[in-house]
Amino acid sequence: MELLEIMVKLLLQEELKEFWSWAGITKKEYNLDKQPSHARQAEWEDYYPYWHKIERAFYIELEKYNEEISDERARLLLETMAIDNVGENVREILSIRMNRSDHYHFISIGLDFELYQARWQLAVFMLYSHIDDRINFLVRMFDIDPYEYVQRRALLSLFSIAPKKSEIHLLKALKHTDEYMRYTALQLLVEMNSRHLLDVKKELSGDLSSLVQEELKKIY
């Protein structure tokens, strides 16, 4: 590997290291939603003073990924997407500028990426990716991802892409322990006017969630 190629590969990696150093938390702590001691609001990542350096390095890395895919480059792009989980600008740029032929590789790496903030955005990314396996990927994400928010975003994307195919998974989600998951699933079943609505209303009649109970009132 030529020296210039090595320097390019290290550029985004080094900028991300600087970000974590400034944040004062580890990626493992970030994955647990820990905030830096100096954070003054939830969207603290936006106040990193050297975002422009990350952006510049990100564009270079994406260009190189488009030229030749690699697991390492994919993980760097995913890490950048993870820390931009409010504005989602990185995710949008990836959706527009990444080679369509590279989507399968990128998604495959992202499904098991360590930061859930990247995985839920990956579910959104799949809305704009037309790979053959995206429905299977979203079902996998809904079924086995350990984070409920990732599961919920996967369910929303699955519904947007294939409403009828999502119905069986929406019905399954009604039994979820998370009230927001049940509420979201119920909303989507109502929206699609599922033939199971009356049975669903009976099943959820004793649900303790006020959100779920309000949504049930829409079923006649």
Measured CA to CA, the distance from residue 114 to residue 58 in angstroms comes to 19
pLDDT tens sequence across 31-59: 999 999 888 778 899 999 999 999 999 99
pLDDT at 8: 57
Q: Given a cut of 60, is residue 179 above it in pLDDT?
A: yes
Query: What pTM does this model have?
Result: 0.92
Which amino acid would we find at residue 26? Answer: T
Residue the block writes with tokens 């106040």? 47
The gap between the terminal CA atoms of the chain, to the nearest Å, is 66
pLDDT tens per residue across span 108-142 = 999 999 999 999 999 999 999 989 999 999 999 99
Count of beta carbons in the 10 Å neighbourhood of residue 42: 10
Please identify which residue in the block is written with the tokens 């049975």. Answer: 199
